[in-house]
Amino acid sequence: MATYISRSPDETAALGEQWGREAQGGLVIGLSGELGAGKTQLVKGLARGLNITERIHSPTFALINIYESGRLPLFHIDLYRLDRPEQIVAAGLDQYLNPKGVTVIEWVERWFPSAPQHATRNTQHVPRPTSMAWVTLEELSKTERRITYENIGA
């Protein structure tokens, strides 16, 4: 597990950009954190690292935004409006757990409630991702965030 301290939205985006440059196809990144913790800012940086040219928007009302202009496609999912894994699977989002590109899931704990240690276990409603990282963003102050990254594998 790696821990980072971000002191600004730009630092959070820069961290995401670094991860985007290193990302390989098939990666699923689950983001957990309160409203305003910086989840979407991290995704914007990740997209920049993937060389995505489209403007990144939070998919809160669309559930998913797909960006295909970069070196890998980015599937950006926001589960804020869904409460249970069964709703997520019914929405057809499980197909993005084994992406050709990179999938980022905001509010991942709504899909994998007992994660990160159990996030990759098969259950009736939770298909297994090929490769997954669990990222938690914690607000330490108005401008400071603790970001923890844990590769929970396959």
CATH number reported for the structural domain that contains residue 73 in this entry: 3.40.50.300
Record the pTM: 0.88
118 assigned to some structural domain: yes
**Closest Cα to residue 29, out of 86, 102, 114?**
102
Q: Is residue 84 domain-resident?
A: yes
Domain span at residue 90 reads 2-147
The answer to whether residue 137 is domain-embedded is: yes
Which residues contact residue 78 at a Cβ distance below 8 angstroms, ignoring those fewer than 6 apart?
A: 58, 59, 60, 62, 63, 64, 106, 107
Q: Return per-residue pLDDT of the chain as tens, 154 residues.
A: 899 999 999 999 999 999 999 999 999 999 999 988 999 999 999 999 999 999 998 888 889 999 999 999 999 999 998 888 888 888 988 888 888 899 999 999 988 876 555 454 444 455 566 678 999 999 999 989 999 999 886 5
Number of domains in the chain: 1
